């Protein structure tokens, strides 16, 4: 099933692991997988940021506020971007995101963003499912943005996506119960320790497979690693500037965090070189 | 499959509905079901309250605080009960709850609490699954307490349980990542409008089947009822003092809410009479 994986230590580590879990009951076969930079391309910018900027440009008030906020740094920009979809229902948000995915094109590859899943990762998800794993996405991205594509891109239903979320409010509009998005985050961004907190809140069990690519995935991988069951922790290394991008995976919310490559080496986790371990990256 | 359901309007409404959803894709076949009083017995007290009181009695400091709090009303008692399992890990909590379920007996029926599922409801869950529904529990009870029994009682895995939750904190203890329970609720109790908010947060889709028994389920049923798809909203009426209990389903957190029986009548929802519609209630 790992047709796009070259022979090598990463592929062997995965196959060896799956040969060592006969004693793990299917109920405990839980895999958590980061999204940006792990399942799909996150460069030159997060797709969600490009989406928000495109939508902000359509709203004159917000576009003006964004211009002013840029002089005051990232936090100010973030606060304005939170307003882009405030006041609309969650269903309206999904419709807007779905339209953006249909229309927008990646600046370098020229294809829709949902065509930029990593084929070797899709193969790995299938292999995990063939071994009775349930696969959850645990993303720093907005949960409703990821849900808009998770089923058709990855075969992950909306209930199996955990992400950052905005607060929503119960309302009755035109005789219909709806949920309205607020301009406020619900709790913390889903990165670092909150990934572990949210895994428990949503999944209610410790994963045994965890896959990520940035320092923001460290605690999630450590959570799987320090359980009682045999675990598999995988870090995707973006070292292929020719076919994708070459960069270190920094945590979006904590630039001082230890590089994930250093953690992976110290913990003995499996590092995947996109350049060496993958014979193919995208479907296109 | 509804072997414990008598012929009558409730059973007919369920069977008719399942015959009318051929056009609904399986991805949209989502059922949300309350727990206390809907799937199992909630009288003479919520099982979780009896559990907390039993555990509080084992801790002298908390038992003393509880005695003092009783003079100051329910809120004061609740604040003390939040402390019973503060400072322990989520895994330790599950072990304690599991032990309680093994040892405790229902004061009237003399059996373990997890033997008090309503057999007709288990049959209904099976029937829904046979029609490709995914069944989620959406409970006002503590999510980890319900998860301790949801799989073996109802076939619902921990990730498909939505409930009230306490805050947890990421920690490393003895080289192991753990989540520690705090004495604070995470957001609001999962009753009334928060049930709808949490359905979106956890499931990410509007249900088409919703089942409850109290005014705290009203908004959840209304959410299913006001979607675009054909919906089935069911209210369990506790009118069988002989075989179970007879009482109106009040909302735990809002005693002024409209009685659910009145809402059900006004909305045309299906009311299940435990006395008339069920030939059997418990397995024992």
Assign 3-class secondary structure to chain A.
Answer: CCCCECCCHHHHHHHHHHCCCCCCCHHHCEEEECCECCCECCCCCCHHHHHHHHHHHCCHHHHHHHHHHHHHCHHHHHHHHCCCCCCCEHHHHHHHHHHHHHHCCCCCCCCCHHHCECHHHHHHHHHHHHCCCEEEEEEEEEHHHHHHHHHHHHCCCHHHEEEECEEEEEEEECCEEEEEEEEEECCCCCCCHHHHHHHHHHCCCCCCEEEECCHHHHHHHHHHHCCCCCCEEEEEEEECCCCCCEECCCCCCCCCCCCHHHHHHHHCCEEEEHHHHECCCCCC
Query: Which tens digit of pLDDT belongs to each residue from A205-231?
Result: 999 999 999 999 999 999 999 999 999
Give the pLDDT of residue B257. 84
- Please compute the mean of the pLDDT values over residues A38-49 and round it to a whole number: 97
Alpha-carbon torsion, ordered B99, B104, B105, B107, to 10 deg: -150
Smallest Cβ–Cβ distance between B159 and the set A186, A203, A222 belongs to A203
Nearest to A196 among B91, B151, B177 (CB): B177
| ipTM of the complex model | 0.96
Q: How many CB pairs under 8 A join A and B?
A: 84
pTM score: 0.97
Residue A21: band (very low, low, confident or very high) from pLDDT cuts 50, 70, 90: very high
Contact A201 B136 (CB under 8 A): no
Torsion of CA A89, A94, A97, A98, to 10 degrees: -140
- Residue of chain A with shortest Cα separation from B177: A223
Nearest-Cα distance to chain B for A117, in Å, is: 22
What's the pLDDT tens digit per position in A104-157? 999 999 999 999 999 999 999 999 999 999 999 999 999 999 999 999 999 999
CA distance A34 to B107: 47
**β-bridge partners, A34:** none
Q: Which of B92, B169, B200, B207 to mutate to test the interface with A (most CBs of A within 10 A)?
A: B200
pLDDT of residue B166: 97
Token pair belonging to B278: 């069920």
At which residue do the structure tokens 């709850």 appear?
Answer: B97
Predicted confidence band of residue B74 (pLDDT cuts 50, 70, 90):
confident
Q: Which residues are CB-contacts of A262 (< 8 A; sequence separation ≥ 6)?
A: none
Percent of chain A with pLDDT over 70: 100
Structural tokens at position A122: 């899709």
User: Other CB atoms closer than 10 Å to residue B188's CB: what's the count?
Assistant: 14
- The pLDDT value recorded for residue B188 is 94
Nearest to A67, CA basis, from A105, B76, A59: A59
The contacts of residue A273 (CB under 8 Å, 6+ apart) are A10, A237, A239, A240
Task: Please report the pLDDT score of residue A248 as a whole number.
Answer: 87
The pLDDT confidence band at residue A254, using thresholds 50, 70 and 90, is: confident
Helix (H, G, I), strand (E, B) or coil at B131: coil
Contact list in B for residue A222 (CB cut-off 8 A) is 177
pLDDT of residue A165: 97
Torsion angle, CA of A262/A264/A266/A270, rounded to 10 degrees?
Answer: -140
Asked whether the predicted pLDDT for residue A82 surpasses 80, the reply is yes
Percent of chain B with pLDDT over 70: 100
CA distance B182 to B146: 18
What is the pLDDT at residue B278? 98
Closest by alpha carbon to A121, among A232, A3, A9, A17?
A3
pLDDT digits (tens, 9 = 90+) for B30-60: 999 999 999 999 999 999 999 999 999 999 9
Phi-psi region of A180 (alpha: psi -120 to 50; beta: other; left: phi over 0): beta
Q: Which residues of B touch A208 (CB under 8 A)?
A: none
Residues B257 and B215 sit within 8 Å (Cβ to Cβ):
yes
Residue A252 has pLDDT above 80, yes or no: no
A200: chain B residues, CB-CB within 8 Å: 90, 168, 179
Average pLDDT, chain B: 96
Would you state the pLDDT for residue A156? 98
Q: Per the CB < 8 Å rule, is A151 touching B219?
A: no
B169 with A203: Cβ contact below 8 A: no
Query: B100-109, B136-145, B245-254: which range is least confident on average?
Result: B245-254
pLDDT at residue A75, rounded to an integer: 86
Q: Which of B203, B187, B101, B84 is nearest to B151 (CA)?
A: B101
CB B107 within 8 A of CB B269: no
Rounded CA gap, B125 and B221, in Å? 17
Residue in chain B nearest A174 by alpha carbon: B226
Categorize the per-residue pLDDT at B249 as very low, low, confident or very high, splitting at 50, 70 and 90. Answer: confident
Q: Tell me the shortest Cα–Cα distance from A17 to chain B, in angstroms.
A: 21
Residue A253: its pLDDT value, please? 75
Confidence category of residue A73, pLDDT binned at 50, 70, 90? confident
CA distance B6 to chain A (A): 33
Helix axes A74-81, A60-69, angle to 10 degrees: 170
Q: What pLDDT is attached to residue A66?
A: 93
DSSP label at B38? T
In this predicted model, what pLDDT tens digit does every residue of B203-243 receive, in sequence order?
999 999 999 999 999 999 999 999 999 999 999 999 999 99
Q: Chain-wide mean pLDDT for chain A?
A: 96
Q: What per-residue confidence (pLDDT) applies to A74?
A: 84
Report whether A163 contacts A185 (CB < 8 A).
no
Between A74 and B202, whose confidence is greater?
B202
Provide mean pLDDT across the span B76-86: 94
pLDDT exceeds 80 at position B255? no
pLDDT over 80 at A162, yes or no: yes
pLDDT given at position B254: 78
Shortest CA distance to B252 belongs to which of B215, B218, B223?
B215
């Amino acid at each position: 099933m790992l047709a796009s994986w070259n022979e090598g230590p990463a592929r062997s580590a995965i196959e060896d692991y799956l040969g060592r879990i006969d004693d793990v009951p299917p109920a405990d076969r839980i895999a958590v997988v980061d999204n940006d930079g792990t399942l799909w391309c996150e460069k030159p910018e997060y797709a969600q940021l490009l989406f928000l900027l495109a939508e902000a440009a359509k709203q004159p008030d917000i576009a003006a506020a964004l211009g002013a906020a840029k002089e005051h740094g990232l936090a100010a920009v973030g606060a304005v971007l939170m307003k882009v979809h405030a006041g609309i229902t969650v269903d309206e948000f999904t419709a807007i995101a779905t339209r953006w995915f249909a229309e927008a094109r990646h600046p370098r590859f020229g294809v829709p963003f949902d065509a930029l899943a990593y084929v070797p990762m899709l193969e790995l998800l299938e292999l995990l499912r063939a071994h009775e794993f349930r696969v959850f996405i645990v993303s720093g991205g907005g949960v409703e943005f990821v849900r808009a594509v998770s089923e058709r891109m990855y075969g992950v239903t909306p209930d199996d996506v955990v992400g950052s979320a905005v607060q929503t409010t119960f309302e009755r509009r035109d005789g219909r119960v709806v949920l309205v998005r607020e301009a406020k985050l619900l709790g913390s961004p889903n990165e670092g320790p909150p990934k572990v907190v949210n895994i428990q809140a949503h999944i209610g069990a410790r994963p045994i497979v965890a896959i990520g690519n940035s320092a923001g995935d460290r605690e999630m991988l450590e959570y799987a690693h320090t359980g009682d069951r045999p675990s598999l922790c995988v870090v995707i290394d973006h070292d292929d500037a020719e076919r994708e991008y070459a960069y270190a995976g920094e945590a979006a919310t904590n630039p001082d965090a230890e590089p994930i490559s250093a953690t992976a080496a110290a913990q003995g986790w499996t590092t995947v070189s996109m350049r060496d371990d993958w014979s193919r990256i995208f479907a296109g």
